[in-house]
Amino acid sequence: MDTITDPQPQEITKEDYRKVFGALPTGVTAITGRTEAGKPMGFVVGTFASLSLAPPLVTFCVDKSSSTWPTLRSLGRFTANILSTEQLPVSRALSRKGDEKFQGVAYTESALGTPRIDDSVAWIDCEVLSEVVAGDHYVIVGAVHAMEFGRGEALVFRGGKFGEYKEWPPPEPAPEGAAK
Ligand SMILES: Cc1cc2nc3c(=O)[nH]c(=O)nc-3n(C[C@H](O)[C@H](O)[C@H](O)COP(=O)(O)O)c2cc1C
């Protein structure tokens, strides 16, 4: 019988990690909430994902160094705004550090009181269900309170650049004379 040996884990550098995950496209989602005084706050994540259908749960990961997350956590609720290809300026504004990220960002209020950014692809209003510490991030699980479809096509992020989804293989062109 072959002897089973525990292989040594490869040493993973930050560069390796970034390069590998830079090859994997993600969506761009703004996580928004409010301060106790009602001021809108938020930040952008590429880690927002569906988690459970029944009950409906979602997840995202946030860096422990986030200055916004502690405020949203204490409120216990957030909206995940799936950003569209027309919302690059919103993505830029909310992925900056600072207190005035919402300047020029239009929004309405969800039933939970969280900001829903105008013209997003979809809004998912959530209550924070749990938070797990994982390395230098927190993994957040949200229980979906309400969700609504908006407009536009989802913005995509890959290798530090923004783009859009392209169907592959390309759709067959409609046969000539076919009804439009
Ligand atoms: C496309 C994109 C994806 C990002 N994904 C994440 C993420 O998943 N988790 C995270 O903590 N930060 C992510 N960031 C970085 C945060 O948006 C950024 O650090 C933000 O300024 C944090 O703000 P805060 O300190 O006010 O919370 C992402 C940024 C961009 C542009």
CA 44 / ligand 1 centre spacing (Å): 5
pLDDT at 112 over 90: yes
Residue 2 included in any domain: no
Token pair 């407009």: residue: 151
- Tell me the one-letter amino acid at 1: M
Residue 5 included in any domain: no
Q: Which of 88, 58, 62 is nearest to 157 (CA)?
A: 88
Residue 8 included in any domain: no
Token pair 């799936």: residue: 82
**Residue 65 lies in domain:** 14-164
CA 43 / ligand 1 centre spacing (Å): 6
pTM of the complete model: 0.94
Torsion of CA 118, 74, 138, 107, to 10 degrees: 0
Site residues for ligand 1, CB cut-off 6 Å: 28, 43-47, 61-63, 66-69, 91, 95-97, 157
Residue 64 included in any domain: yes
Residue 55 included in any domain: yes
Q: Which of 103, 37, 30 is nearest to 74 (CA)?
A: 37
Residue 106 included in any domain: yes
Count of Cβ atoms closer than 10 Å to residue 35 Cβ: 14
Residue 120 included in any domain: yes
pLDDT at 180: 56
Q: What is the CATH number of the domain that holds 55?
A: 2.30.110.10
Residue 140 included in any domain: yes
What is the total count of domains within the chain?
1
CA 45 / ligand 1 centre spacing (Å): 5
* Ligand 1: residue whose CA is nearest its atom 28: 45
**pLDDT, tens digit, 9 for 90 and up, residues 127-150:** 999 999 999 999 999 999 999 999
